[in-house]
Structure 1
């Protein structure tokens, strides 16, 4: 989805759209010369180009339709990007090193900008890990449950953590803390895009109409429910 989702508030409603209209779709009042109760804000797209996200854990949908990505029904594929945006990912034919195909995915950065030592060795770590015998399909076959793209990605992450003397993450920990929140956010964003594409607007009661508080992440989550 190339268009940006915009949110503004009027009539105690949160109104989502791809552009701010000339008049309120809820009450019909013209916005010409009038101030909105809440200045329009752009909602960041949680899906981005993995080839432009170095040293990241990537989650992509195998579906062709962008609007079906991360909807809970699509099969997902994971990979790890190197410092040049080449995506390493494990498949039935072994580890792939791809320069394209990951333009629409969830990106979870794995290296902080000030971690120069790790950044300088990242590509070497990734290539050595990916060349190991355990990822050779003639030695060990791909298994949907126990030896797949996710186990490959998480095992590499834990190898990196080990070099920093940090404890390993279990599949459950990593999924719960890092992956599921971002998939949830992406799913809700895609839902907004579908609603706006079909109806021009998506309108919900503002959760702050009886409160003087500003927006919070919890509010953002409640808008799509």
Structure 2
């Protein structure tokens, strides 16, 4: 598997969209020059990786496979979530309690939770997070895989921040549909294209 941090490229030729890691001299469909007849709309565009280093993304909801990396993810295994601080720590909850990691979340899906100009909230973020994880709510014996888990932890913290800002809380379904599913769908598409490019050199589809 090629690095998931690498952007893919897409260009159009022969009425098809062609994904690759680098632009070829010849079109893989017709064998003619891939660049000589380009119009502006056919020119290459970059398809950025959907993954980010969670330790560099402050005040975010983070999502990654519970075991391994997205490069090995089968689409069915469990996922794990956490909340990032302003200094690169990722707080998360599992059957052994609360953890604050400075490594291990280098390849994840990030959902920003605070606009960059909300300075007052950003300045208090770590204090809110420390107070939140210090409660008995997140002791190991209280962990339950079905209804008191890592997602519960993250969503309760997010809703606490919503309350502080006098904004409505999210249900699990609402937060997932609005913020998580659009990103995981993008991950799924990216991984499909990446695998084809890795093994075949190109991914070719009818022009959309």
- Normalised-by-shorter TM-score class: over 0.9
Look up the match of 1:36: 38
Structure 1 counterpart SS, 2:126: helix
Q: 8 Å contact 1:68–1:74 — kept in the other structure?
A: no
Whole-angstrom CA distance in 1 between matches of 2:155 and 2:68? 25
Q: 8 Å contact 1:57–1:107 — kept in the other structure?
A: yes
Q: 8 Å contact 1:59–1:76 — kept in the other structure?
A: yes
Pairwise CA distance, 1:65: 4.6
Structure 2 counterpart SS, 1:89: strand
Alignment length, in residue pairs?
Answer: 203
Structure 2 counterpart SS, 1:80: strand
Pairwise CA distance, 1:81: 0.2
Look up the match of 2:93: 90
The Cα RMSD (Å) is 1.2
Gaps of 5+ in 1: 208-225
Look up the match of 2:113: 110
Q: 8 Å contact 1:60–1:102 — kept in the other structure?
A: yes
Deviations along 1:132-174, one digit per CA (max 9) or x if unpaired, are 111122xx42101111000000000000000001111000100
- For residues 154-169 of structure 1, what are the structure 2 equivalents within 5 Å? 154-169=155-170
- TM-score for both structures, normalised by structure 2: 0.94
Structure 2 counterpart SS, 1:47: coil
Look up the match of 2:195: 194
**Deviation beyond 6 Å, 4+ runs, structure 1:** none
Structure 1 counterpart SS, 2:127: helix
Structure 1 counterpart SS, 2:44: strand
Pairwise CA distance, 1:75: 1.2
